[in-house]
A and B are shown apart, each in its own frame.
Chain A
């Protein structure tokens, strides 16, 4: 992809992120943090692409390690956020 386009995307995403996150109420800040933390595990895409058949041993090892760590980040992050949000929601429905 064109480099300038990617920089453009970056800038737009920054503004969008600012507008979105400003609206999250303080009571949900912990789930916001763990949820966004899970999203930062998107680096898993880069990790997967590093694990190629044609690669050298070093790249393979780096790639596999990155896949493991990013997966912990993604799976753990989403599950823990869900656990927290379930507690928040429980009360809403009971009322």
Chain B
């Protein structure tokens, strides 16, 4: 196939990606959009296979192994484990881009610097720069994502970890990366021998991997929506850098689209927490139990399932506010059942979704969609807040910081200014919570101490199930 024809197919693939993302703007067309996008990917892959001189035997092995692993993972993963799955896939994409950059460097070594760049359209310094970038971004994406996966799945503790002299260590690693990158990029001009250059390159790979680990280490579970979004963006940018390495338009377009998507999500998530990206990345938020903020008066008042049942039975409007605790307890199906029973009881039921509830953007929406909760009942934060004072009962299921009134009222609180769902304005609040401990941020939630709040301790799924059976018995 001629290069012109291959490039035309790449353009078509790019168009399919763009249309695919465009169709994601509505739930009705989203699934078809995703399929179109995958057709674009298939086209790009098939056309690439038509290049001369490829080693098909190994390519088939690679494709089959990858496809089997990917398909198994995608079909076996539970909806509640979606954040860690996405994190892991991100990491694989990043590592693949790193390897593509590395392979091209090996090609330059094998062919010889002069021979390679005689045939290459880009200036040598440009190519070495983008190889360094592909390795750096890809490496950070890989180890960062693997660590995010570990934190999300609970395999590594989900707490933020602050290592001694963290700033110093990070600074040293960053400086090392800058120096090594410059040495690698200008290796030819500096007349560095090929053997030394290889070591510089390998050290750059190593330090990039280390940077990914160090970068995600001080970030706690509740800040994961930001981190996953950012790593998502990086995986795209790594592909983009790889695209500049091999001068391929489809990699650049697709990588750039993903880079944008991740970046926009990152910004949305940061805004929803009223924190800057630097604060999320470097502050080690939640690594220690913070004592800042006003002293709370009063006490947390536990309630029994029966009490809750009678109040709910009499309520005419209920707002359910889910959080990460609902995902952990896998309570989405019973929650939906409770919602239906309340509806049948003549009660108006809504679900209030905070943008950073859960561990990734849109996490709660996916879980409630899995449980088949009707769309009309899902309400975003800005739309539900004006209605909160008229609501009879707010049920908080495993959410904490996103309903903490301190964010709105207490200027000394570390989360002051973060937009919250105004659960405290409802007439009665029931909070489902596993124990009496503080939330992710280590803050005491003033909501729990209000006169109108009752606590329902225990596993969210068990508690909601108990409520459901109460309703059914009557």
- Residues in A neighbouring B65, C-beta threshold 8 A: 68, 71
B37 at interface, CB cutoff 8 A: yes
Are B89 and A37 in contact, CB atoms less than 8 angstroms apart?
yes
Q: Which of B379-415 contact A (CB under 8 A)?
A: 380
Are B239 and A33 in contact, CB atoms less than 8 angstroms apart?
no
Chain B 243-254 interface 0/1 with A at a Cβ cutoff of 8 Å (1 = within): 111111111111
Q: Which of B65-101 contact A (CB under 8 A)?
A: 65-67, 69-71, 73-75, 77, 79, 82, 85-86, 89-90, 92-93, 95-97, 99-100
Are B71 and A88 in contact, CB atoms less than 8 angstroms apart?
no
Q: Which residue of B lies closest to A53 (CB)?
A: B55
Are A44 and B96 in contact, CB atoms less than 8 angstroms apart?
yes
Selected from A33, A46, A80, A82, the residue in CB contact (under 8 A) with B100 is: A46
Chain B 233-248 interface 0/1 with A at a Cβ cutoff of 8 Å (1 = within): 0011011101111111
Chain B 24-37 interface 0/1 with A at a Cβ cutoff of 8 Å (1 = within): 11111011011101
A6 to B253, CA, bound (A): 9
Chain A 1-37 interface 0/1 with B at a Cβ cutoff of 8 Å (1 = within): 1110010011001101110111111111111111111
Chain A 73-95 interface 0/1 with B at a Cβ cutoff of 8 Å (1 = within): 11111111111111111111001
A28 to nearest B CB, angstroms?
6
Are A72 and B73 in contact, CB atoms less than 8 angstroms apart?
yes
Among A3, A22, A42, residue most surrounded by chain B Cβ atoms (within 10 Å): A42
- Residues in A neighbouring B229, C-beta threshold 8 A: 33
Are B253 and A9 in contact, CB atoms less than 8 angstroms apart?
yes
B374 at interface, CB cutoff 8 A: yes
- Residues in A neighbouring B73, C-beta threshold 8 A: 72, 76, 80
Are A48 and B240 in contact, CB atoms less than 8 angstroms apart?
no
Are B96 and A69 in contact, CB atoms less than 8 angstroms apart?
yes
Are B34 and A30 in contact, CB atoms less than 8 angstroms apart?
no
Are B96 and A41 in contact, CB atoms less than 8 angstroms apart?
yes
Are A3 and B380 in contact, CB atoms less than 8 angstroms apart?
no
Are B22 and A95 in contact, CB atoms less than 8 angstroms apart?
no
- Residues in B neighbouring A37, C-beta threshold 8 A: 86, 89-90, 93, 232, 235, 258
Selected from A6, A27, A49, the residue in CB contact (under 8 A) with B378 is: A27
B104 at interface, CB cutoff 8 A: yes
Selected from A6, A49, A66, the residue in CB contact (under 8 A) with B48 is: A49
Query: Interface size (B, Cβ < 8 Å)?
Result: 113
Among B30, B240, B256, B264, residue most surrounded by chain A Cβ atoms (within 10 Å): B30
Are A28 and B27 in contact, CB atoms less than 8 angstroms apart?
yes
- Residues in A neighbouring B375, C-beta threshold 8 A: 27, 91-92, 95
Q: Which of A26-70 contact B (CB under 8 A)?
A: 26-56, 58-60, 62-70
Q: How would you classify the secondary structure of chain B's contact residues: helix, strand, loop or mixed?
A: helix
A32 to nearest B CB, angstroms?
5
- Residues in A neighbouring B264, C-beta threshold 8 A: 18, 21-22
Are B362 and A17 in contact, CB atoms less than 8 angstroms apart?
no
B285 at interface, CB cutoff 8 A: no
Are A30 and B31 in contact, CB atoms less than 8 angstroms apart?
no
A63 to B258, CA, bound (A): 23
- Residues in A neighbouring B187, C-beta threshold 8 A: none
Are A51 and B75 in contact, CB atoms less than 8 angstroms apart?
no
Are B245 and A16 in contact, CB atoms less than 8 angstroms apart?
no
Are A33 and B70 in contact, CB atoms less than 8 angstroms apart?
no
- Residues in A neighbouring B25, C-beta threshold 8 A: 20, 23-25, 28
B255 at interface, CB cutoff 8 A: yes
Selected from A36, A50, A82, A91, the residue in CB contact (under 8 A) with B35 is: A82
- Residues in A neighbouring B103, C-beta threshold 8 A: 47, 50, 59, 62-63, 66
Are A75 and B70 in contact, CB atoms less than 8 angstroms apart?
yes
Interface residues of chain A, those whose CB is within 8 Å of chain B, are 1-3, 6, 9-10, 13-14, 16-18, 20-56, 58-60, 62-92, 95
- 14 A-B contacts (beta carbon < 8 Å): A17-B21, A30-B366, A33-B360, A42-B250, A43-B242, A43-B255, A46-B242, A50-B99, A62-B99, A76-B74, A84-B79, A85-B30, A89-B30, A91-B369
**Sample of 5 further A-B pairs with CB below 8 A, known A21-B257, A92-B28:** A26-B380, A30-B86, A40-B232, A42-B239, A78-B41
For the complex of A and B, list the 8 residue pairs with the smallest distance between their C-beta atoms, beginning with the closest: A71-B66, A17-B260, A29-B362, A67-B62, A75-B70, A76-B70, A79-B74, A29-B361
